[in-house]
Amino acid sequence: MDCEEDLFCGLNYADKDPDEMDVLEKKHTPVIDVESLGEDRYRVTVKVGEYKEHPNEHNHFIESIELYSGRTFLGRATFASARSDPVATFEVKLDHKHPFVAFERCNMHGTWRSEEVELG
């Protein structure tokens, strides 16, 4: 098997309109919502399952969500199987204006990347 066929090899990224995504992509693509709080502060919410609900069972669940601004790590939320929804909200103060990007880790389908969200 080559890397393109292995969900655990590298990052999975659905670079397309949600209407064109397959079910796997809809369940795993993290979606970022940004609210400006003023003075370079932001409330950033990342949700997995925005386009189609992701299973939340003991044998299939979202393990974590990470948030970055460019290459700068901002935070990580970890989740217990079957006991939490894959949504994380971070309040951050930035001294630079790089796009936000999120990554989520599914225990069965590997790591998935969001689209970049530019700051206004």
In a domain, 118, yes or no: no
pLDDT in 10s for each residue of the chain, 120 residues: 566 666 667 778 888 899 999 999 999 999 999 999 999 999 999 999 999 999 999 999 999 999 999 999 999 999 999 888 999 999 999 998 899 999 999 999 999 999 999 987
In a domain, 120, yes or no: no
Cα separations (Å) of 115 from 1, 13, 29, 80, 84? 27, 8, 9, 25, 24
0.75 cut: is pTM over it?
Answer: yes
| CATH number for position 8 | 2.60.40.730
Give the residue numbers spanning the domain of 84: 3-113
Please work out, in degrees rounded to the nearest 5, the angle formed at the alpha carbon of residue 54 by the alpha carbons of 42 and 72: 30
Residue written as token pair 């936000």: 100
Number of independent structural domains in the chain: 1
First to last CA, the chain: 42
Amino acid identity of residue 57, one-letter, is: E
In a domain, 83, yes or no: yes
